[in-house]
Amino acid sequence: MGRPYYIFSNGRIKRKENTVYIENENGDKKAIPVEDIDTIHLYGEVDLNTKLLNFLSQQNKIVHVYNYYGFYAGSFMPRDRNVSGELTVRQVEHYLDPERRFFIAFSFVEGAMFHMIRNLREYKDTLEFQEKIKTELANASETKSINELMGCEGRARDAYYQAFNTILNNGFSIEKREKRPPGNPVNALISFANSMIYSTVLSEIYHTQLNPTISYLHEPRERRYSLSLDIAEIFKPLIADPVIFKLVNNNMIRLEDFDEDVNCCYMNETGRKKFLKEFDQKLTTTIKHRKLKRNVSYRTLIRLECYKLIKHLIGDELYTPFKAWW
């Protein structure tokens, strides 16, 4: 299995036989055998041609593109080879049935809140915020609509982010969550981290038969893969947020790793590289899976979550959200 490659420099990417060549503006080249690639993440201004895209499509490789500020912009995904008309029908049926849709949507929220509380337990003086999240989880179980459910999830996440001021040090703080655009370094970190979780989940969905546009918690809309947003809810606090806490509290990422442009705060290239190094390390970290009885990586846990959802949709096994046990 290949690994992700993150391209920051401006330049071009070319294909020659079974090798991908990355060439920067200075003419420096790096050759990567295609079998070593899982996904390519483009942060710089990169030229590529249809010859390369056709080759990557044949090799089943995904390219994610990010904008000037480092936030997800879009993806090139090869023609889906894991198409299942039957599963797509099942996905739509579960979306159209209010009760079945709500069950799946609540499961995503439950998994997300579980991991929020799990994170806060690692830090003192967060009991107040833990209790707020627990209250919202209890409220969520009594809701009858997706809008009410998302209201509970939103209030729980607000409480969770308020706890960041207790957890983070070295001059990092957050007054409120700001997404578009992020207004300070903590918001920029969260947005960048969530963007990486979203694209990672999308890559894992692609390798299954799930249709990424049919979702349950988030409303399916044009121009977005909303199922990625759904599944990402479980893994943002499990994978992304601990990386943020480690980088900030160990002084690995600093305020000078952020820049401001008009009303937007964003991580500069130095900051992104620091984050992605730790993020990549987190994804490849393994744990002993209780059911499979073998070591699996955090990235594999995302793929397994997709398979669990498939089993639920086809009626093989009731879906339960992933909850870390270690």
pLDDT at 68: 86
The confidence score (pLDDT) of residue 103 equals 98
Q: What angle do CA 161, 162, 163 make, to 5 degrees?
A: 85
Helix ranges (DSSP H) in 236-268 = 241-249
C-alpha closest to that of 126 among 176, 93, 160: 160
Q: What is the DSSP string of 98-137?
A: HHHHHHHHHHHHHHHHHHHHHHHTTSTT-HHHHHHHHHHH
**pLDDT of amino acid 120:** 98
What pLDDT sits at residue 2?
Answer: 83
State the binding site for Mn(2+): 153, 218, 233
Radius of gyration of the chain (CA): 20
Query: What is the number of other CB atoms lying within 10 angstroms of the CB of residue 244?
Result: 22
Sign of CA dihedral 299, 7, 209, 97: positive
Domain-by-domain residue ranges, the chain? Answer: 3-66, 85-313
β-partners of residue 3 are 37
SS3 30: strand
**DSSP for residue 322:** -
Q: Which candidate, 209, 215, 217, places its Cα nearest to that of 310?
A: 209
Predicted confidence at residue 34, as pLDDT, reads: 92
Q: Check residue 84 and give its pLDDT.
A: 82
Counted residue by residue, the chain has a size of 326
Query: From 3.100.10.20, 3.30.1330.10, 2.40.50.140, 2.30.30.90, which CATH number describes the 3-66 domain?
Result: 3.100.10.20
Quick check: do 3-66 and 85-313 share a fold?
no
- Could you read off the pLDDT tens digit of each residue along the chain, which spans 326 residues? 689 999 998 999 999 888 999 998 888 889 999 999 999 999 999 999 999 999 999 999 999 999 988 889 999 988 766 778 899 999 999 999 999 999 999 999 999 999 999 999 999 999 999 999 999 999 999 999 999 999 999 999 999 999 999 999 999 999 889 887 898 999 999 999 999 999 999 999 999 999 999 999 999 876 679 999 999 999 999 999 999 999 999 999 999 999 998 788 999 999 999 999 999 999 999 999 999 989 999 999 999 999 999 999 999 999 999 999 99
Could you tell me which CATH number the domain at 85-313 has? 1.20.120.920
Structure tokens at 155: 């209030």
Distance CA 324, CA 74 (A): 30
Residues in the annotated binding site: 153, 218, 233
Q: Which helix (H) or strand (E) is 76 found in, with range?
A: strand 72-76
pLDDT for the residue 178: 86
Beta bridge partners of 19: 16, 33
Q: What pLDDT score does 306 carry?
A: 98
The dihedrals phi and psi of 295, each to the nearest 5 degrees, come to: -75, 135
Beta-ladder partners of 21: 14, 31
C-alpha span between 233 and 225 (Å, rounded):
14
Q: What b-and-e string marks burial along 272-300, b requiring 16 or more CB atoms within 10 Å of the CB? A: bebbbebbbebbeeeeeeeeeeeeeebbb
The pLDDT score that the predictor gives to residue 70 is: 87
pLDDT of residue 201: 97
Q: 296 with 91: CB under 8 angstroms? A: no
Residue 236: CB partners within 8 Å, gap ≥ 6?
112, 193, 194, 197
- Classify residue 27 as left (phi > 0), alpha (psi -120 to 50) or beta: left
Say if residues 247 and 274 touch (Cβ distance below 8 Å): yes
pLDDT of the residue at 26: 85
* pLDDT in the model for residue 223: 63
Q: Is the pTM of this model over 0.85?
A: yes
